[in-house]
Amino acid sequence: FTLEYEDLLFRASERGLEVLTARHGPGSELAGDIADLAAALHARLPQPDSALSADVRARVPGTEKPDMAGVLHALIRALSTRRRVCAGPGCGASAHASADPNAAFRACGGCVLVRYCSPECQRNDWKRGHKKACTQFREILAVANPATMDLEQFRRVVAPITQRPEVEYELSLFAAAQGGVLSMDMTLRVNEIHRDAAILTGRPNLLAEASDGMDFVASILRRQEHWASTA
């Protein structure tokens, strides 16, 4: 749908970001979605990364596959804007549909990253595995802040934590459960990280079934990219 309209849509996205930031300040959920769109369009335009705003530039994928630190940098930044979406398993309720559409959902008291529409959703997510991920996020956020650090700085600081296979295993499970937060490319990478961590730790690959589906999606994306580059 965007072929041949990339330049027009990119300029509209940049303008939309300016308006949203002026009206609501940085970090709104909608602004993050528009920045993702602008980054995707930028990849198909003949312009340098230096021409991008900071929010868009942070979302432009590099040529190398991201490591766990790269995934977390994108994930934490994205989650920090989702104050009105429930992270409960199978929920995904929006504050817009709640009794008080102007209120943000209550954040986890530990990591303060994910939010819930009800105590029940929070308990369910805790049982699903947020208990372990929460401890690891607190350790990471105690020494690094993705909102104020660029990717390379963040990576250097958290490397001693995120390069441990047992941490990669738990956090990749958490990342995979955050539906719609990460880009498709990043979601594919999360499945790869979990597979490798499972081998290193001797634990079961809990995303094996999802990985099979991701491999199929990846093949479709490669075909689409090839078609778009030759159309």
Q: Which range has the top average pLDDT, 36-40, 103-107, 156-160?
A: 156-160
What is the distance between the terminal CA atoms of the chain, rounded to a whole angstrom?
A: 13
Pick from 41, 59, 77: which residue ends a domain?
59
> Does residue 50 sit in the same domain as residue 74?
no
Distance from C-alpha of 32 to C-alpha of 198, rounded to nearest angstrom? 32
Q: pLDDT tens digit string along 151-180?
A: 899 999 999 999 999 999 999 999 988 877
- Domain boundary, last residue among 59, 78, 94: 59
What per-residue confidence (pLDDT) applies to 219?
Answer: 54
pLDDT value of position 199: 93
Residues 123, 224, single domain; the answer is yes
Same-domain status, 110 and 211: yes
Higher-confidence position of 128 and 164: 164
Give the dihedral of Cα atoms 171, 68, 179, 166; nearest 10 deg: -20
Report the mean per-residue pLDDT for the chain.
83
* 132 and 39 housed in the same domain: no
For the cut 60, the answer to whether the pLDDT of residue 221 exceeds it is: no
Task: Look at residue 65 and tell me whether its pLDDT is greater than 60.
Answer: yes
Q: Is it the case that residue 47 has pLDDT exceeding 80?
A: no
Residues with Cβ within 8 Å of 126's Cβ and at least 6 positions away in sequence, in order, are 134
Residue 71 has pLDDT above 90, yes or no: yes
Q: Which domain holds residue 82?
A: 68-228
Nearest-angstrom CA–CA distance, 194 and 150: 24
- Are β-strands 106-107 and 115-116 bridged in parallel, bridged antiparallel, or unpaired? antiparallel
The whole-number pLDDT of residue 126 equals 92
Q: Are residues 26 and 75 in the same domain?
A: no
Give the residue-averaged pLDDT of 13-31.
82
Torsion region of 78: left, alpha or beta (phi above 0 gives left; psi -120 to 50 gives alpha): alpha
Q: What is the predicted pLDDT for the residue at 20?
A: 85
DSSP 8-class letter at 63: S
Question: Closest Cα partner for 53 from 42, 62, 63?
Answer: 42
41 and 91 part of one domain: no
What pLDDT shows up at residue 60?
A: 74
Looking at the 3D structure of the chain, how many domains does it have?
2
pLDDT of 8 over the 60 cut:
yes
Query: Are residues 132 and 44 located together in one domain of the fold?
Result: no
Please indicate, yes or no, whether residues 10 and 33 belong to a single structural domain of this protein.
yes
Model confidence band, residue 212 (pLDDT cutoffs 50, 70, 90): low
Binned at pLDDT 50, 70 and 90, residue 21 comes out as: confident
Asked if 182 and 75 touch (Cβ cutoff 8 Å), the reply is: yes
The verdict on 84 and 149 lying in the same domain is yes
Q: CA 123, 211, 172, 37 torsion: positive or negative?
A: negative
pLDDT top residue among 57 and 210: 57
Is residue 124's pLDDT more than 90? Answer: yes
Domain boundary (15, 35, 59) is at 59
Residue 63 pLDDT greater than 60, yes or no: no
Same domain, 141 and 28: no
Question: Could you tell me if 85 and 183 lie in one domain?
Answer: yes
Say if residues 53 and 72 touch (Cβ distance below 8 Å).
no
Note whether 201 and 89 are within 8 A (CB): no
**pLDDT the model gives residue 40:** 84
* In a shared domain, residues 124 and 145: yes
